Amino acid sequence: LILPDVPKLLLGKRVLITAGPTREDIDPVRYITNHSSGKMGYALAQAAQKLGAEVTLVSGPVTLSPPSGVNILKVSSAEQMHTCVMQNVKNSDIFIGCAAVADYRPIQKNSQKIKKSDQELTLTFVKNPDILSDVAHLANAPFTLGFAAETQNIKQYALGKLQRKKLNMIAANDVSDENIGFNSEQNALTVFWPEGELKLEIADKNILATQLMELVAKRYTK
């Protein structure tokens, strides 16, 4: 039995993808992070590889095993993810920001464990660099796809991010729906680009990732 190969829509294209959460240290035993299993980003990496792309996956801390045939670079904090992406984006044709990057980090990591006391604890946070926006604003920017995790006004917020970050496409995720997103096996997305939109109905993340990569390939070659 010879199975038909999937058409290699991204043959020889270099695709860089961020996935998973980032981890922002407070002290040697504590950190803050975002909800993210990494499943969607890992599924996208596998889908792009199957379409013939040369894939590099920059991953925050997750428990998934690396997709086969994909070059994986593991990082922890948003600053490390930013540095790693900027070092590896140079020759990329397509960049996909799928990571749930922490928007803020503690102003400093305490070198010693913070001991509890009877007082309230106040931490000060500073803003992390926006990896996706920095990539999209490069002089020789690759084709960029971002994600928008929203709990309300999904279209309006997603279109705002598409424009502000100078993206080619954005995939919006309704994270208020408990059946999809984060730790679930399934997801549903609405994809927006300057001239159109497409709803990808609820499906297994692997199936959705293939549909999304095919859409990226189609828009990229236009």
Annotated binding site for CTP: which residue ranges? 97-99, 103, 113, 129-132, 147, 161, 165
Under the binding rule (CB under 6 A), the answer on residue 192 touching ligand CTP is no
Residue 34 appears among annotated catalytic residues: yes
Residue of 34, 168, 173, 187 with catalytic role: 34
Q: Which residue lies nearest Ca ion, judged by its C-beta?
A: 103
Under the binding rule (CB under 6 A), the answer on residue 143 touching ligand CTP is no
Q: Which residue has the tokens 């996909």?
A: 96
The contacts of residue 1 (CB under 8 Å, 6+ apart) are none
For residues 130 and 143, what is the distance between their CA atoms, to the nearest angstrom? 17
Question: Which residues within the stretch 79-118 sit at the binding site for ligand CTP (CB under 6 A)?
Answer: 97, 99, 101, 103
Under the binding rule (CB under 5 A), the answer on residue 127 touching Ca ion is no
Question: Which residues within the stretch 94-113 sit at the binding site for Ca ion (CB under 5 A)?
Answer: 103
Q: What is the DSSP letter of 205?
A: H
- Choose from Ca ion, ligand CTP, none: what does 210 bind? Cβ within 5-8 Å by kind: none
Q: Which residue has the tokens 């922490």?
A: 102
Q: E strands within the chain?
A: 14-19, 23-27, 30-33, 54-59, 71-74, 94-97, 104-106, 125-127, 143-150, 169-174, 186-193, 196-204
Under the binding rule (CB under 6 A), the answer on residue 130 touching ligand CTP is yes
- For Ca ion, the binding residues (CB under 5 A) are 103
